Amino acid sequence: EKGGYDYFMLKEIAEQPKAVSDTLLGRIDGAGQLHLDEIRIPPRVLREADKVVIVACGTAYHAGMIAKYAIEHWTRVPCETELASEFRYRDPILDSRTLVIAISQSGETMDTLMALRHAREQGARVLAICNTNGSTIPRESDAVLYTHAGPEVAVASTKAFLTQLVACYLVALYLGQVRGTKWGDEIQSVIGQLARIGDEVEAVLDTMEPVRELARSLADRDTVLFLGRHVGFPVALEGALKLKELAYMHAEGFAAGELKHGPIALIEKGVPVVVVVPSPRGRSVLHDKIVSNIQEVRARGALTIVIAEEGDTVVEPYADHLVRVPVTPTLLQPLVATVPLQVFACELATARGNEVDQPRNLAKSVTVE
Ligand code: M6R
């Protein structure tokens, strides 16, 4: 049932192009219009929503962090993303014009379930983004958008994460479409690029051998740091989480702009630092900033592992290892930039002799608070 792979995780990483395409299936028509009538929240309610709140845990929370950038950019509706375990204990401000999005692969995560129950009690509408048909979270929500990743067996989430991202983009773009924002042209063009993203994920998977080799060469290290900006920041957090849970290494993700506010003190000779570089096109100021950050850590002896778009030559002099990802719109980059980090963590776990599919102390779904 592992389909010829040694681990479910490897199989699930390889299934990502299909998982992503399946999650898009039937939701974009030939004219590039989104059809999400299945969520059965009347467009009027979506037009009147004045706030979006996303709740989730772990990897799903990272998808939610990325969704915030997409929703605020394309819809101009304020959006906050919060750890489900923190959410209801701070008396959040919610009412009937709040759209709450609960993201969960399993649909059974207790903290996320309790957060959505709390939101509904306050009169908010809850949309679940979920991978498991008929599970508790979608059953208790007002609406559901299913991800079509298929069953995810490995404890470390991979294909579910990519499909959660796709679902979040679909919701963000749909909100933009329904509300008619000034980003109409951009939304149209991104929908077109999203429709083809499965091929880009496939292209990344085809070039992963150097990443595996690099991972093996770092098997005896204690620490790996991850840096990103904008949507690259949650990607950095996700890369660090994968490494913790699989390789049992000290791994931390930072917003690159925070370096000078503390984390740079961790940099010493030879520490591997993975940097997720945004596209030099579009928001080029972000790119300039992160290039400075790479220089800063390298000047202090870090071993830089740079994930950058094809054709980005500016980063080349500062990268000890360069991992190329296809050109994508800035907001969609996490769909391709996360994949090398999954492969990296999986290979490091194997090299360290760890149990890849069943890491110590972890359960696939956390049904206690
Ligand atoms: O089933 P859920 O998506 O609600 O699970 C949330 C987290 O427990 C989950 O993403 C966890 O962080 C993964 N093991 C990460 O790989």
Atom of ligand 1 nearest to the CA of 156: 16
Identify the band that residue 251 occupies on the pLDDT scale cut at 50, 70 and 90. very high
What average pLDDT does the segment 47-76 reach? Answer: 97
pLDDT single digits (tens) 324-356: 999 999 999 999 999 999 999 999 999 999 998
What average pLDDT does the segment 205-212 reach? Answer: 98
**What was the pLDDT predicted at 187?**
87
Select from 57, 104, 116, 344 the residue to mutate for testing ligand 1; criterion: most ligand atoms less than 8 Å from CB: 57
Identify the band that residue 366 occupies on the pLDDT scale cut at 50, 70 and 90. confident
Identify the band that residue 102 occupies on the pLDDT scale cut at 50, 70 and 90. very high
**Tell me, what's the ipTM?**
0.98
Res 181 pLDDT > 90? no
Identify the band that residue 1 occupies on the pLDDT scale cut at 50, 70 and 90. confident
CB 201, CB 337: distance < 8 Å: no
Instruction: Check residue 123 and give left, alpha or beta (phi > 0: left; psi -120 to 50: alpha).
Output: left
**What was the pLDDT predicted at 126?**
97
**What was the pLDDT predicted at 57?**
98
Res 15 pLDDT > 80? yes
Res 284 pLDDT > 90? no
CB 147, CB 130: distance < 8 Å: yes
Known catalytic residues? Answer: 364
Nearest to 116 by CA among 152, 82, 69, 149: 82
The residue whose C-alpha atom lies closest to atom 10 belonging to ligand 1 is 59
Residue for token pair 């490494």: 243
Res 312 pLDDT > 80? yes
Select from 103, 106, 129, 245 the residue to mutate for testing ligand 1; criterion: most ligand atoms less than 8 Å from CB: 106
**To the nearest whole number, what is the mean pLDDT of the chain?**
95
Q: How far is the CA of 365 from the centre of ligand 1 (A)?
A: 7
The residue whose C-alpha atom lies closest to atom 9 belonging to ligand 1 is 58
**What was the pLDDT predicted at 345?**
97
Q: 181 φ, ψ to 5°? A: -85, 170
Ligand 1 binding site (Cβ under 6 Å of any ligand atom): 57-60, 104-106, 109, 112, 155-157, 241, 245, 365-366
Res 69 pLDDT > 80? yes
| 157: its two tokens | 């989430």
**What was the pLDDT predicted at 307?**
98
Query: SS3 sequence, 197-247?
Result: HHHHHHHHHCCCHHHHHHHHHCCCCCEEEEEECCCHHHHHHHHHHHHHHHH
What average pLDDT does the segment 139-152 reach? Answer: 96
